[in-house]
Chain A
Amino acid sequence: MKKTAWQEFSKGIIKENPVLRLVLGTCATLALSTSASNAIGMGLATTFVLICSNAVISLLRKVIPDKVRIPCYITLIAGFVTIVQMIIKAYLPSLNDALGIYLPLIVVNCIILGRAEMFANKHSVLPSVLDALGMGVGFTTALLAMGIIRELLGAGTVFGFPITAGFIDPIIIFLLPPGGFFVFGMLIALANKLAENKGQKPAELGCQGCPLAASCSKLAENKKECAEK
């Protein structure tokens, strides 16, 4: 069944949201959702890399030999990440400081390699770009939702504007690592609940989203788990 352009784009936002449904890119989600502005910055940087890498990989899908495709993808992605790093360093130095080590780590964000492996190397350029755009928007939205919740509870502000000052004291632990895990867990529970009402399976950290599923099938028990799904 051929999907329309709109379906290609919109599936990434809710139905196959990379963070809440496919559980990809958890490291970046947990680390950079301490404030809404960090979340937006990280979301946009990742979206940019995702669109570029999906476009180029789908253009080169017939050129890249199948056996060395993962190293090729990683090199391409690393190139785009370097471009983003240089742009952000030059024009948004404060964002560069806030993102820190997590900016170069976009290279190993499973969303990007995952979409390259699952989508871009099987489809032509236009659907790949739309898919990347949708996934990017989905990632940014989920990150922003977490960023707003954590910033509101942890610092009493949203985008730096005081909201709860005076009547609720900030709960600092929401800005610390435990708060990240907790809020993420609650959001996934909520997404599972909503998906269940629509008759979908709960989110799972499974093989369907993992870009390395092909190479890790050697893990015997993993193989069994993958076969079950």
Chain B
Amino acid sequence: MIKSLVAIFLAAILTENYILNKFLGICPFLGVSKKLDTATGMSIAVTFVMVISTAVTWPIYTYVLEPHGLAYLQTIVFILIIAALVQFIEIVLKKYIPSLYNALGVYLPLITTNCAVLGVTMLVIEKGQSDPGFGYIQSLVNAFGSGIGFLVAMVIFAGIRERIEHNDIPKSLQGLPITLVAASLTAVSFLGFQGLVEGMLG
């Protein structure tokens, strides 16, 4: 049990990295990764929302939508739950934990339409359908691992970008194109993890 959870966690970080392997959450990856501290803040907020949304959407899908034949409403229901949750978290943090709100609050409104969050809630449902052993706990671990994977990719990339800033880059490649080429090389390095988790714990 523990072993399989560790495998799910590591796979979510390394082999199924949301940014570099699934192309989810590219906007914050390119937009907010200029500085290390904003990159970290954004990814922690994303991880937080990913886990909480999965914790809410999974039971709603499994116990409300699915038994009543409403699975086709998944997209609408999930996006509304995520939007409401983000608002709710923002209000609660502002009222009760102002220090955390000051650190993460600014990123929360941006997360509502982040495809990584909607993606993780839908992918765990999909995984559960193809593998009956993939239940609630596994889904939560997968969501947490995906968030950490997001953090790892963002932090690595923020470091790379701070280096690129001061380099001599051909004029038409400056700005976005060179960032994408750097992202491509980072993705190559993550390809190297393919099969690692199965080999280690399989």
Contacts and interface: CB of A to CB of B under 8 A. Distances in A.
B91 interface: no
Interface in A169-186: 173, 176-182, 184-186
Given A192-B177, A205-B176, A211-B113, A110 B27 contact: yes
B110 interface: yes
Interface in A22-74: 23, 26-27, 30-31, 70-71, 74
Interface string B144-188: 000000000000000000000000000111111111110111011
Nearest to A32: B23
Contacts of A118: none
A101 B122 contact: yes
Contacts of B178: 185
A98 interface: no
A188 B180 contact: yes
Given A75-B80, A221-B38, A108 B180 contact: no
A189 B184 CA distance: 15
Contacts of B7: none
B189 to A, nearest CB: 9
A135 interface: no
Interface stretch (B46-54, B55-63, B70-78): B70-78
A218 interface: yes
Contact of A185 (B25, B113, B180): B180
- Interface residues on chain A, size class: 35 or more
B89 interface: no
A86 B80 CA distance: 19
Nearest 8 CB-CB pairs, A to B? A185-B180, A181-B184, A189-B177, A31-B23, A182-B184, A178-B187, A215-B109, A78-B76
B175 A202 contact: yes
Interface of B: 20-27, 30-31, 38, 72-76, 79-80, 83, 105-107, 109-110, 112-115, 118-119, 122-123, 126, 171-181, 183-185, 187-188, 190-191
Contact of A108 (B22, B113, B188): B113
User: Binding site of B, secondary structure by majority: helix, strand, loop or mixed?
Assistant: helix
B29 to A, nearest CB: 9
Contacts, number: 149
19 contacts: A27-B25, A30-B26, A31-B22, A74-B113, A79-B76, A82-B72, A82-B75, A104-B118, A105-B24, A176-B187, A177-B187, A182-B184, A184-B180, A193-B172, A202-B174, A204-B175, A210-B31, A212-B109, A215-B109
Contacts of A81: 75
Residue in B74, B107, B184 whose Cβ sees the most chain A Cβ within 10 Å: B184
A185 B183 CA distance: 9
A99 to B, nearest CB: 13
Contacts of B181: 181-182, 185-186
A86 B74 CA distance: 12
Given A82-B72, A182-B184, A176 B191 contact: yes
A48 to B, nearest CB: 15
A108 B115 contact: yes
B61 to A, nearest CB: 13
A181 B176 contact: no
A153 B146 CA distance: 31
Nearest to B77: A78
A163 interface: no
Contact of B177 (A104, A188, A196, A218): A188
Contacts of A212: 109-110, 112-113
Contacts of A110: 27, 113
